[in-house]
Chain A
Amino acid sequence: MTATETRRMAVRSRGGAGARTGIRTDRRPFRPGRLALSALGVVIALVWVFPVYWMLNSSFLDQQTLDAKTPTWTPFGGSIDNFVGILTSGTFFRSLGVSVLIAVVTVTVCLLFAFLAALAISRFRFRGRKAFVIAVLLVQMLPAEGLFIAQYKLVGVSGVNPILGVSILYIAAVVPFTIWMLRGFVAGVPVELEEAAMVDGLSRTQAFMRITFPLLAPGLVASGVYAFLQAWNEFTVALVILQDPNQQTLPLWLRGFIQQSASHAIDWGEVMAASTLVAVPVIVFFVFVQGRMTSGLVSGAVKG
């Protein structure tokens, strides 16, 4: 870098500073063509959200409209017939029931177990603590794809109800990360608060329940939503174990629509309506909990 160049840059940057007052506070690394970049940003946002929009859009259109040579870009003039058709067919509510049952069991049990374990590793120092933490982290990494054959076989052999079996498998799959998430929340409540309460005459348990527990509510909610999403969206284990059509969760039910398509033409409007019904509650929950999950996954890598 020659001296003149450096000077030119310096002058340019200084000269522009007046016009771009926002830059300094926003710490922007790049500045050229803000308008073009903004346009690009909006276009990318549209591209990314397009499949979601396309699902919603198609869900309101009938098969004739969707079969037409030119696509219909907006749902205006459509109807809710697809939704009515699905909601009155019965299979949706059967699968919804299975999904809700499994999710509720998973969330409740998982939160309870994970909470106790998180308490142990963040409030106590004990022999074997580190081994336990390593085990938690490693188990969390084990892919369902590497275990489902054995789990399938063992649930089959043990004779437990497949729905119960799947619930147990989900609890075990979700508990490690939930422990990890909750551990952060528990550690975030200063133990001094409890100690102060103990000085004032509360027992350790009382101090915990009265002081720390209320402060953990946001953490429990976030972890609960995480567990819910895992159980609600899970596909692999459900596919392998819940083979009886009467015991299918919503993801399997939705898959049923695509599967038919290999044999005959598919009513995409109906399928998209089905897909919408499965996706919308999840999107709502997810948007709500996203921040917590991300920071749990990369915890420490980003210093807040």
Chain B
Amino acid sequence: MSRTAADVEERASASPAPTGPPARGEPPASPASRHRTDAAPVRRPRVALTPYALLVPATVVVVLAVGYPLVWQIVTSMQSFGLAQQFGKPAPFVGLENYVALFSDPYTWIVVGRSLLFCAACAVLTMVVGMLLALLMTAVHAWVRITLQIGLLLAWAMPVIAAMTVWNWVFDWRNGILNWLLTGVGLDFDGHNWLQEPLSFFGVATIVVVWMSVPFVAFSLYAGLTQVPGEMLEAAQVDGATPWQRFRDIILPTIRPVVGIVALLQVIWDLRVFSQIKLLQDRGSIAGETNVLGTYIYQLGIGSSDFAMASAMSVFVLLLTVAISWAYVRHLLKEDEER
């Protein structure tokens, strides 16, 4: 990662001399090629430096605030960081020992498994609900659709912290509205604490995360659905295709690109979920039983100042994210090339 960023910078500083002609190397200004990509021919030679100069500020700030911490983290993850180091002693290099220790600890695997499971549950639920809502939007009157869109938009706009505060209130064991409702329909939930049991804790977390994520999915998928050719659907209907068949054989293939991207983003976002879990933990549940990747790193690093272990865990999370994100990055890159 940092290597890529560094590469860019290296090239940026090394480039002026060899990069005289535009990289695309097109013959100078043929009048026929009035394509945007041919902006190059118009410029004078000295402009060759300009693009690199334009990239410098953004590159510097990213290298400083992301690249450098990244390198520090990788280095630290291979050092031994004990009490002495907290008082300024240099940390000895231990190679991959931290990683070995980390991954031979069953608790790490519990946290990883928990995160993956939680991520999968949230992503699948969000996609299913989002898809159903998008389909619903296409099937109802415009005013119903707009009502639905306004409702979703307001939920989506809520800052995570404000949303978590409200959900904590809704699930509050003493006076929360949920316990009142459930008790009202004859179930005994008076004074039930939803955040005590890990399973119910994650049930709450799932509801909250799905509630937050569905609007984006529903809006994106709805935008995709408006592109499905209506004639084709009618033709299929005339031929007797059931709604499910129309969905599976016409709608889904048409909107597959959107579905893929949106699903991928959900997985990426749900895997890195931190604020929601942390803010639910604040309400007094046992952190050890509810940690996910993010909160575990927090606990290792900020809680017990074991920066080496926290770094090792962070590096693992970063690798995992980059691996999952790669498909998304490739998609956007293709987009860039098509322009």
Contacts and interface: CB of A to CB of B under 8 A. Distances in A.
Interface of A: 1, 5-6, 8-10, 13, 24, 26-32, 34, 37-38, 40-42, 44-49, 51-52, 54-55, 58, 66-67, 69-71, 109, 112-114, 116-117, 119-135, 137-139, 141-154, 168-169, 171-173, 175-176, 179-180, 183, 187, 190-192, 195, 198, 204, 232-233, 235-236, 239-240, 250-251, 254-255, 257-259, 261-262, 265, 268, 271-272, 274-276, 278-279, 282-283, 286-287, 290, 294, 297-303
A89 B187 CA distance: 41
Nearest to B11: A128
B282 A262 contact: yes
A299 B335 contact: yes
B107 interface: no
A69 to B, nearest CB: 8
A133 B40 CA distance: 18
B51 to A, nearest CB: 4
A143 B316 CA distance: 12
A298 B258 contact: yes
B338 A286 contact: no
B211 interface: yes
A116 B58 contact: yes
A150 B2 CA distance: 14
Contacts of B158: 51-52, 279, 282-283
Given A251-B161, A298-B220, A131 B4 contact: yes
Nearest to B177: A71
B162 A204 contact: no
Nearest to B296: A145
Nearest to A258: B282
6 contacts: A55-B162, A124-B54, A204-B47, A262-B284, A279-B158, A300-B331
Contact of B325 (A141, A173, A268): A141
B8 interface: yes
Given A128-B8, A262-B283, A190 B36 contact: yes
B329 A119 contact: no
Interface stretch (B118-126, B130-138, B197-205): B130-138
B258 A301 contact: yes
Interface of B: 1, 4-5, 7-8, 11-12, 15, 18-19, 22-24, 34, 36-37, 39-40, 42-43, 47-48, 50-52, 54-55, 57-59, 61-62, 64-66, 68-70, 72-73, 76, 133, 135-141, 144-145, 147-148, 150-170, 172, 174-175, 177, 180, 211, 214-216, 219-220, 223-230, 233-234, 237-240, 243, 246-247, 251, 257-258, 260-262, 265, 268, 272, 274-275, 278-279, 282-284, 293-294, 297-298, 300-302, 307, 310-311, 314-315, 317-318, 321-322, 325, 328-329, 331-336, 338-339
Nearest to A302: B223
B69 A143 contact: no
A134 B332 CA distance: 9
Contact of B151 (A48, A54, A198, A275): A48
